[in-house]
Amino acid sequence: MLRRGSKASERRRHLSDRLSCQQDQALSSSIYLLREIGPTGFLLREEEPENKDFRVFLGNPHVCNCSTFQKGGELCKHICWILLKKFKLPRNHESALQLGLMEGEISDLLRGIYRVQTPQKGTDDDNVHIEEDGYIKQKEIDSDDICPICQEALLEKKLPVTFCRFGCGNSIHIKCMKILANYQDTISNTSMLKCPLCRKEFAPLKLILEEFKNSSKLVTSAEKERLDKHLGIPCNNCKQFPIEGKCYKCTQCIEFHLCQECFDSCCHHCHPFTFREKRNQRWKSLEKRSDELVKYIDVKNEIEEKMPHFQEKQGFIGNVLTVGYSTSAIPALLMDKLYITH
């Protein structure tokens, strides 16, 4: 059902500088999906710099309760996040440019035309395997599986995960589930969390808190790799995997990346790019001009120093946690695909 309000203005055909800036912020911000409010409503939590919850409703026009949207009625980073991350629209897609969408366009989004398939909701009862501890066995994670809370690919991020123990067996980032746990505990004061995928019981709140505490002390396999290795990202031209050194990302194509050599060869010169030198950095805007001079515009390029698992330092704790290792509080995760050797 579409939101009521004044109709959106005439159709936009081109990505403006202002909207491009909002899209940059959406793709570089720490935003999490806490709850879906019907088919077109979404409750989001942003960690920094806002540290607030926001409600986004898609319709004609789109609506958000953030100050940016309330002041000007233009698309904000939260609406952009839903369009680009949740529904996987390319940045320059016509539906990503509009102040609102018609009912047919909303239906196309909901049917998932542009979306990478997330794990199936629910389980096949005939194939459910119950472990000795009484929990459902965790499903193997595939390359296209996405965390339903942060909308990032699980194998690309390679962060510690937990999984639904009483319903679907699908995996979710531990950090993301902790954020969702804080929200669910606030509104219902429950000791058992609900799965955002199958809506069945996910795991006891106490277990998620214990997993989160343990995971913050451990080192993932990704942390042992040099930061100039962009784990999980192949070059779409020469197929180098992962890309090492500078990594270039097309702003208009979905998941199109180039290594330095292929970018210099101008094999994909028709679209603008962003780039980063290390995987723990924000993407920088890159503007290539006709005279082949390249201008770099720093877009919040700060190292995530607050995240200890991204710091280059010695003296790591002996135990190693990957999306394929376990501790006493974190179940064994069968993810052989994560181990990349060179």
Q: Is residue 264 part of a domain?
A: yes
Q: Is residue 246 part of a domain?
A: yes
Give 36 or 308, the one with higher predicted confidence.
Answer: 36
Kindly state whether residues 26 and 101 are assigned to the same domain.
yes
Whole-angstrom distance, CA of residue 66 vs CA of residue 279:
29
Average pLDDT rounded to a whole number, residues 92-117: 86
Q: How large a percentage of the chain has pLDDT more than 90?
A: 43
Residue where a domain stops, chosen among 56, 78, 110: 110
Q: Report the DSSP beta bridge partners of residue 42.
A: 36, 56
Whole-angstrom distance, CA of residue 268 vs CA of residue 263:
7
| Domain ranges, residue 252 | 229-297
Average pLDDT rounded to a whole number, residues 74-100: 94
Whole-angstrom distance, CA of residue 144 vs CA of residue 131:
26
Kindly state whether residues 104 and 144 are assigned to the same domain.
no
- How high does pLDDT run on average in the chain? 77
Give residue-wise pLDDT tens across range 175-195: 999 999 888 876 666 689 999
Residue where a domain stops, chosen among 188, 215, 242: 215
Q: Is residue 220 part of a domain?
A: no
Kindly state whether residues 189 and 161 are assigned to the same domain.
yes
Question: What's the confidence (pLDDT) of residue 71?
Answer: 92
Whole-angstrom distance, CA of residue 284 vs CA of residue 248:
9
Kindly state whether residues 95 and 132 are assigned to the same domain.
no
Give 171 or 314, the one with higher predicted confidence.
Answer: 171
Cis amide leading into 234 (omega within 30):
no
Kindly state whether residues 64 and 130 are assigned to the same domain.
no
Give 40 or 330, the one with higher predicted confidence.
Answer: 40
Residue 317 has pLDDT above 80, yes or no: no
Whole-angstrom distance, CA of residue 205 vs CA of residue 223:
27
Q: What band does 285 get if pLDDT is binned at 50, 70 and 90?
A: confident
Residue 137 has pLDDT above 70, yes or no: yes
Q: Is residue 333 part of a domain?
A: no
With a threshold of 0.75, does the pTM exceed it?
no
Kindly state whether residues 211 and 157 are assigned to the same domain.
yes
Question: What's the confidence (pLDDT) of residue 202?
Answer: 94
Residue 120 has pLDDT above 60, yes or no: no
Q: Is residue 80 part of a domain?
A: yes
Domain count, the chain: 3
Residue 100 has pLDDT above 60, yes or no: yes
Residue 320 has pLDDT above 60, yes or no: no
Q: Is residue 93 part of a domain?
A: yes
Kindly state whether residues 23 and 86 are assigned to the same domain.
yes
Question: What's the confidence (pLDDT) of residue 144?
Answer: 85
Question: What's the confidence (pLDDT) of residue 127?
Answer: 53
Kindly state whether residues 87 and 129 are assigned to the same domain.
no
Give 206 or 51, the one with higher predicted confidence.
Answer: 206
Instruction: Decide: helix, strand or coil at residue 172.
Output: strand
Kindly state whether residues 211 and 234 are assigned to the same domain.
no
Question: What's the confidence (pLDDT) of residue 155?
Answer: 85
Q: Is residue 54 part of a domain?
A: yes
Average pLDDT rounded to a whole number, residues 313-323: 37
Question: What's the confidence (pLDDT) of residue 220?
Answer: 58
Residue 68 has pLDDT above 80, yes or no: yes
Q: Report the DSSP beta bridge partners of residue 229.
A: 244
Kindly state whether residues 130 and 174 are assigned to the same domain.
yes
Residue where a domain stops, chosen among 148, 183, 215: 215
Whole-angstrom distance, CA of residue 22 vs CA of residue 9:
19
Helix segments in the chain, DSSP class H: 17-28, 67-72, 77-81, 94-97, 103-110, 154-157, 174-188, 205-215, 260-264
Average pLDDT rounded to a whole number, residues 67-72: 92
Q: Is residue 69 part of a domain?
A: yes
Kindly state whether residues 199 and 147 are assigned to the same domain.
yes
Closest CA to 250 of 64, 91, 22, 60: 91
Give residue-wise pLDDT tens across range 48-58: 766 789 999 99
The CATH number covering residue 199 comes to 3.30.40
Average pLDDT rounded to a whole number, residues 51-79: 94
Closest CA to 288 of 261, 248, 244: 248
Residue 239 has pLDDT above 50, yes or no: yes
Question: What's the confidence (pLDDT) of residue 42?
Answer: 97
